[in-house]
Structure 1
């Protein structure tokens, strides 16, 4: 995986729900994705297990007595460990406690539908016997047995699909393999010197052929296309024909898009329009095992991430990093068991569903199953209403039945002022996420519920309505305390904010922001295809202050998007409470 370690960045998405951009394109809210029958099982599956396992589990994050910063599987690169020295770890890789049947059973019981494991990571070490090299499990370790095929068989025996991760370009052991951050032929050891094209010809292409013809995976998960060009990628891409129905991702390089996008360690705020996508994520801060990484995400965070991802039209690939002995860490097992308990009761609200039709649900998320004449909405409630009235905003369909999915208890509903109100019990069935199942008739009809023009003509864009756009290296998030909310940890240029809102009339508006803290920063206000530069000066003032973001002109009544994007060359960041648009006339 990528080098950056990212602490918990996904809380940002747990308290506001964004309508996937793709869901705005069709009447039902479904994405106009690429048409491929071989993806149907994957689109229905929603939840898979990622496994990062290899020699890096032997040092477990420690080299020469020092804890090496970064994710565990990058220790060779981060520690600049010479090839010959790193190869010595193979003598200590003897996973006698490895039980592929137990791993597959754990995945199945967690509600996962597929497994993807690292057949070869960036250190170049193959977990399967390879004719292309002796740097593999059979030739270099005391274990001397294939680790991949037994897991594939165990998974398939339980009805799970099986995938292999393969690092096609980066290889820190074989001569000529690519090294992130280095030019072609570069590295930190003379043993790295060699031709990248020869490496592809002698290692990457033959090993990919071995994987596709011997293991026969359902998914081939490429990673880090460093130095890949169309000419270099083509021989690898051509091998896909050996495995009809194979699903590939977007990381081969050379312009080949594959079947799926792969946001890493973050959830796209509005999904990914027109593309199938899968967020891959760790349970702690590392992919490969590190003995001292105890920063585990809670079951609440992991489960709500799953629901959030599915509500935006994606899949969730959740990682475990086994030890060198072949054991999955106990904190991972505990969380997977707890996820499985929830999925046994509520899995129908995940599997085979599509993205939410709602712009925002401040108390939770929604997934759905629809037909031309009706369907089912699954309302995932994170914050249970204290007044026992759950408001489904903008739902105009007739609701024919409502019940708690976990218990089957029937609920009463009432249509009122363009919304549907569900009367729920005083106590939530589940402390993390309770699911209300609503059956409705007719084509799905949801009127977007967005911030709009108030009686005084102003439009208030509170923090809770913001779509927070993060990447792997950024982690802005929503923080709520009582009746107050703000965007905090907005100190990385890769994070940006946007609001969808409804304007009742045309006009010119002053734009003011209420912010807190922070230093000197520059950003752009983006609206209606225009960008306006803004400079925020540092101040010693405490508490919330107002700053001007200039003016915008709304040409006519309708739905619009306003964005705030940091300047990549000058950004210290600040906390943001709200943006207010006030008419000038």
Structure 2
């Protein structure tokens, strides 16, 4: 991934350095106020384009007539293609249809505020003219021209910030480069310290000095990186005052942003800025046969969900070797852009929702000098036209439908304000109601509610845990109750039942060995066998049986280990579905 972020900085200050403990990190002694100022544009942007492009777009997922499993840009690694043979693909990399102006305008039309492009991915191939290696687009391909310079110019013309992805450690072609795993070609052997000094450091210096203002440096996969290696690279950030970099450099540096990949953190990441990077299909680099495209609805709702947790969305495109962004990507970006033109103010510059959950969608907020604005993103438009905002105690000054500016009636309900909506939503993917709040935000978190069809969903994040070890685990292939080593630990969920009845109970569990859980509610209990799934991140859904909750009102559902033969289990969710 390579991305150049163009930052039109109008003012730069000198960040103080410590005389007693010198650090190569130019931000080592940055004050919170200075950091907030540096991060301001990024927090305002909320939406960016990731571009994965390189020689791997030539084989496009196919080697020696076989489709190679895995993501497209890892084909050299996954198929263990010899270096000399892989380099032959560069002779077919001739992006004569590359139009950086069109790419930038597409990103802008989609509502994206910045672009990050892979200047050099793990195969070591550089999309720019590098004096540190001839394994680049100018020296190794028939195209023979720098691909980053015209993109940087187009970004500057159209007010889009540019960032570069740079694979600083993994390099499967230049001798001495790192590999996350075993090397497979003797040409790859060499000294990694020498590789860092002679290839990585000079190339990062080129990226930060040849293309104008750069807003982001996006490191990746720090396999083999030592503190000494990382020191040489982080010091180069001083060449671009105010540049932002992520948490993947290695050597103990945390960077400015966390980078959840292909998943959305369930509760955000606390006080850490984060950027969720995701593909539109199942690959980053182009694969000719990957047509598993996410719907526009999924992509828009991902954007909303991420913004509601205080993060940015870096959405990927993988151009072909001719330089074309695949048409399904173009179509989805245009459709996202149509949604953003109406609802963008509910995304740009917003911060995380004050609500732990909302049964119909998500919320983002803005704090202004004259008060707070809540943007209610309604995914599930209420059939009766009554939108309840559970737990909101603040006074609402006004409620407006963002699509057309229509004022909406607000009345106070028993569980929170109720907003009267028109019969049909302006947008079936997500429609926005804007609430202007008088005074501070006051929210009282209500218990879990039944869905419209009566289903009770009990996700791990909502559990109240009891004991020494059991706790919520966040992350890809997690989002579960984990560390359940002690059979005395247990969890419960408080719920409000409005539609009593008999429910089919299912659980999502994972573990290395078979174990048993007891699920209980309303004086009844069920024993469910949790199978050995082979991995703590490989979840299976198991039926536990039926439970009857005969009375409306508050109820408690518990999950407890059956001590005999107990083996650790990860529990992602319990679902009660009405029969």
In the superposition, the TM-score normalised over structure 2's length comes to 0.78
Aligned match of 1:365 in 362, 374, 378? 362
SS of the equivalent of 1:228 reads coil
The 1:303–1:421 alpha-carbon spacing in structure 2 relative to 1, beyond 3 Å, is: same
Alpha-carbon distance change, 171 to 517 in structure 1, aligned in 2, over 3 angstroms: closer
Partner of 2:190: 194
Deviations 1:33-54 (A, max 9, x none): 9943110000010000000000
Is 2:204 the partner of 1:208? yes
Distance in 2 (alpha carbons) for counterparts of 1:500 and 1:155: 52
**Which residues of 2 match residues 449-460 of structure 1 at below 5 A?**
449-451=446-448
Structure-2 change in CA distance of 1:499 and 1:237 (3 Å): farther
Which position in structure 1 is the counterpart of 2:341?
344
Distance 1:518 1:244, change over 3 A: closer
- The within-5 A match list for 1:317-336 is 317-336=314-333
Q: Does 1:75 align with 2:75?
A: yes
* Aligned 1:94-493 pairs, distance under 5 A: 94-182=94-182, 187-215=183-211, 216-371=213-368, 373-417=370-414, 419-451=416-448, 462-463=457-458, 466=461, 471-473=475-477
How far the C-alpha of 1:68 sits from its partner, in A, is: 0.3
Alpha-carbon separation, structure 1, partners of 2:68 and 2:162: 32
- RMSD value, Cα: 3.6
Distance 1:524 1:46, change over 3 A: farther
Deviations 1:430-455 (Å, cap 9, x if unpaired)? 01000001111101111122349xxx
Give the C-alpha shift of residue 522 in structure 1: 4.5
* TM-aligned CA distance change 1:569 to 1:262, over 3 Å: farther
Deviation at 1:82, TM superposition (A): 0.3
Question: Contact conserved, 1:110 with 1:336, CA < 8 A, in 2?
Answer: yes
Tell me the CA shift for residue 544 of structure 1: 3.6
Length-normalised TM-score, structure 1? 0.77
In the alignment, is the contact (CA less than 8 A) between 2:479 and 2:572 conserved in 1? no
Equivalent pair of 2:459/2:573 in contact (CA under 8 Å): no
- How far apart are 1:503 and its partner, in Å? 10
Q: Distance in 2 between matches of 1:267 and 1:501?
A: 23
Shift of 1:464: 6.0
- Deviation of 1:124 (Å): 0.2
Equivalent residues in 2 for 1:496-507, closer than 5 Å: none
Please tell me whether the aligned partners of residues 466 and 499 of structure 1 are also in contact (alpha carbons under 8 angstroms).
no
Alignment partner, residue 530 of structure 1: none
Three-state SS of the structure 2 residue aligned to 1:124 is coil
Distance 1:291 1:499 in 2: 47
Does residue 577 (structure 1) correspond to residue 568 (structure 2)? The answer is no
Per mean C-alpha deviation after superposition, the further-off stretch among 570-579 and 272-281 is 570-579
Q: Is the 8 A contact 1:218 1:245 kept in 2?
A: yes
Q: Secondary structure at the match of 1:180?
A: coil
Distance change (3 Å), C-alpha of 1:74 and 1:523: farther
Q: Is the 8 A contact 2:165 2:219 kept in 1?
A: yes
Tell me the equivalent position of 2:36.
36
1:285–1:295: 8 Å Cα contact kept in structure 2?
A: yes
Give the stretch that moved more between structures: 439-448 or 123-132: 439-448
Shift of residue 248, structure 1, vs aligned partner: 0.1
1:410-447 Cα distance to aligned partner (Å, 9 max, x none): 11101233511000011111010000011111011111
Following the alignment from structure 1 to structure 2, what is the Cα–Cα distance between the partners of residues 524 and 235?
Answer: 52
Going from structure 1 to structure 2, the CA distance change for 1:384 and 1:289 (only over 3 Å counts) comes to: same
Separation in structure 1 between the aligned mates of residue 76 and residue 243 of structure 2, nearest angstrom: 31
Unaligned stretches of 5+ residues in structure 1: 2-31, 453-459, 477-486, 505-512, 526-533, 548-560, 580-585
Q: Deviations over 1:292-320 (max 9, x none)?
A: 00000000000000000000000000000
Cα distance in 1 for partners of 2:290, 2:135 equals: 28
Instruction: Return the alpha-carbon distance in structure 2 between the equivalents of residues 265 and 475 of structure 1.
Output: 13
CA–CA distance in structure 1, aligned partners of residues 323 and 476 of structure 2: 28
- In the TM superposition, residue 577 of structure 1 has moved relative to its aligned partner by 1.6
Contact 1:34 1:275 in 2 (8 A): no
* 8 Å Cα contact 1:398/1:440 also seen in 2: yes
Query: Is the contact made by 1:222 and 1:252 (CA closer than 8 Å) also made in structure 2?
Result: yes
Consecutive unaligned residues in structure 2, runs of 5 or more: 2-31, 450-454, 463-471, 497-503, 519-526, 533-540, 548-557
Secondary structure of 1:165's aligned partner: strand
Instruction: Kindly provide the CA deviation profile for residues 90-123 of structure 1, in whole angstroms up to 9, marking residues without a partner as x.
Output: 1000000000000000000000000000000000
CA distance in 2, matches of 1:242, 1:568: 57
CA contact (8 A) 1:405 1:436 kept: yes
Summarize the Cα distance change of 1:572–1:353 in structure 2 as closer, same or farther, 3 Å threshold. Answer: closer
